[in-house]
Amino acid sequence: MTFELKILGSASATPVLARHPTAQVLTADATNYLIDCGEGTQWRMLEHRVRPHHLRAVFISHLHGDHYFGLFGLLGTMHLQGRTQPLRIVGPPGLDEVLVAQARASDMHLGFTLEFTPVNTEIHAVVYEDEHLTVATLPMRHRIPCAGYLFTERPRRANLLKDKLPAGLTPAQLARLAQGEDLEADDQQPGLRHADVAGPAPAPRRYAFFSDTLYTPALADLIRGVDLLYHEATFLDEHRERAGQTHHSTARQAAQLAEAAGVKRLLLGHFSSRYKSLEPVLLEAQAVFPTAELALEGLTVNL
């Protein structure tokens, strides 16, 4: 089963040529989820062959333009492409009002239903569930209400251990065991418990998305040991005062949080346009978390 993250954009608010504002696609079991949707995201989806009408849900962190101004155009394109299945949008309260104002001005009547889940950005709570994922908010600290998101795969089934399987099982019985069911005893044979013939279930994979936030060490507790953390790293540590004023983090702080939380991998993003080269950003983080990587456009991380 796929559990893969693709970076569509990782620039911050001031536009820079050949870089793009925040947008990511998480693919869980062949289903796509969009995380933030900066201006131009639909062109990035074209570029990276992510089909708009295959999106199951969109998660918006906050209502600064570089994180959601691409949503209006994307919805219009889905409509033009004939989408009919509902789209779930999860985000801060107020997003729905902007969408409604926009649609009214354009006299746009979407051919599909928008289902909006307003989130409380102050707490850690489950806000979305389907057959592939559970998603919980992570309370960011930014200038306006802002949610990070923790994506947790649904529990995966344990594989059957061949050397524990008795001989003579029919294909139907094997299939039931593989589905996690127990076989009851009958005239022909004794019962067989799934737990007795299966290995341990693999741990559900987890991805934590830290959108714009002041460095907040306490958040480490909520994401301990995740497989992947994306943490904004708008500034270098030499500009940490500016980071504090604007409620952003530095590359070093992102790495410190990753280190404290014991995450397996760290991606850095949301780079300020002032840094023409991102090498100093990467090196600063790697001094604390040696395997840190830059979330550059097109990067794909298969977990």
Of 117, 134, 125, 142, which is closest to residue 210 (Cα–Cα)? 142
Minimum CB distance to a second copy, residue 242 (Å): 13
Minimum CB distance to a second copy, residue 75 (Å): 9
Instruction: Give the ranges where 141-269 is alpha helix by DSSP (H).
Output: 171-178, 194-197, 240-245, 251-261
3-9 and 23-28 strand pairing: antiparallel
Instruction: Tell me the C-alpha distance between 264 and 266, whole Å.
Output: 7
For a second copy, the closer CB: 55 or 183? 55
For a second copy, the closer CB: 23 or 301? 23
Minimum CB distance to a second copy, residue 35 (Å): 19
Minimum CB distance to a second copy, residue 61 (Å): 13
For a second copy, the closer CB: 46 or 126? 46
For a second copy, the closer CB: 108 or 185? 108
Task: State the residue for tokens 């608010």.
Answer: 13
Instruction: Tell me the C-alpha distance between 18 and 174, whole Å.
Output: 53
Amino acid identity at 246: T
Minimum CB distance to a second copy, residue 196 (Å): 54
Which one from 29, 36, 66, 96 is the annotated catalytic residue? 66
Amino acid identity at 116: F
DSSP letter for each residue of 238-294: GGHHHHHHTT--BHHHHHHHHHHHT-S-EEEE-B-TT-S--HHHHHHHHTTSTT-EE
For a second copy, the closer CB: 73 or 204? 73
Residue 163, judged by CB atoms within 10 A of its CB (0-12, 13-18, 19+), counts as exposed
Contact residues for a second copy (CB under 8 A)?
A: 13-17, 39-40, 42-43, 46-47, 63-66, 69-70, 72-73, 76-77, 80-81, 94-95, 97-98, 101-102, 104-108, 143-144
For a second copy, the closer CB: 71 or 208? 71
C-beta of residue 114 within 8 angstroms of C-beta of residue 87: yes
Minimum CB distance to a second copy, residue 45 (Å): 9
Q: Based on the residue annotation, tell me whether 237 is a catalytic residue of this protein.
A: no
Dihedral sign for Cα atoms in the order 236, 242, 244, 247 = negative
Query: What are the residue numbers of the active site?
Result: 66
